[in-house]
Amino acid sequence: MLRGTATVKQADGVVPEYAAAAERYFGPEQGRAWVAQLEGMGLAWTRIGITPTHATVLDFETRFPSALAS
């Protein structure tokens, strides 16, 4: 869980983070093809950024071990 300040910005075309994620998921060749297909559709893209002020990690193995022991 993150707490902090969020910013919302309109982006021109596919944002680089999305293109990188598509290449990791689909592989380099198919990822680039997927992004090229999306760029041709003229979609509106929005980037949501968070500047965290607090982060919480829930570790269910150590915090709630009885639920996993069943």
Q: How far apart are CA 58 and CA 63, in angstroms?
A: 8
Positive or negative, the CA dihedral 4, 8, 9, 12 is positive
- Give pTM, 2 decimals: 0.64
Give pLDDT, residue 57.
85
pLDDT in tens, 34-48: 999 999 898 889 999
Q: How far apart are CA 48 and CA 12, in angstroms?
A: 14
| Domain boundaries, given as residue ranges, for the chain | 2-69
